[in-house]
Amino acid sequence: MVKLDKIYTRGGDTGETSLGDGTRVAKSSLRVTAYGEVDEANAVLGLARLHATPASDTLLARIQNDLFDLGADLCVPIEEAPKYPPLRITQAQVDWLEAQMDRLNADLAPLNSFILPGGTPAAAFLHQARTVVRRAERATVHLLASPHEAVNRLVLVYLNRLSDLLFVLSRVENGQGAGDVLWAPAANRDG
């Protein structure tokens, strides 16, 4: 159980922070960068929820909770015999994302063009969240490539699926794709 009775600790005043296992690391570390990007994505989803339909809001609420799980996963390096069982992203969470994407995408017309971020406010924020999730995914790839870091690989899979789901959900929020803003290649080349 988390208990926060004091918000500031002064522990980070020197540019370091504590991971979930108590290890002190630089705030610029790959691990802190990765879960910081996840935190930013979660904040953008909060903005999207302000404009989302009730059905989308329900999905996004669950995703926000899962992103806290994912941040907790990244915050605790994998160890052989942990003192306490850490929170880890599971295949079931990835499977849920895929099921939602398949269900929502079934009612959307196929695309014949790339989509520009925009349309409704909810769709625009979902596109922004998608790009932040992609940034979190890239940060996680860097973390996974580090020889001294142990990371749950399902974190990367979850982020990859989530960015795809957010794309589909943006189309749903754009009137089932009717309000998508389509890219017009080379539309402005000739002045």
| pLDDT value at residue 141 | 97
Least confident of 58-67, 119-128, 142-151: 142-151
pTM exceeding the 0.75 threshold for the entire prediction = yes
66: CB partners within 8 A, 6+ apart: 89, 93, 158
Alpha helices in 53-174 (DSSP H): 54-75, 91-105, 121-145, 154-173
* 78 confidence band (pLDDT: 50, 70, 90): confident
User: By CB neighbour count within 10 A (0-12 exposed, 13-18 middle, 19+ buried), where does 39 fall?
Assistant: middle
Residue range 18-105+115-180 forms a domain whose CATH class is: mainly alpha
pLDDT in tens, 134-191: 999 999 999 999 998 889 999 999 999 999 999 999 999 999 999 999 998 888 988 7
Domain ranges of the chain: 18-105+115-180
Indicate if the pLDDT at residue 67 is higher than 90. Answer: yes
* 2 confidence band (pLDDT: 50, 70, 90): low
| pLDDT value at residue 175 | 94
Token readout for 100 is: 């939602």
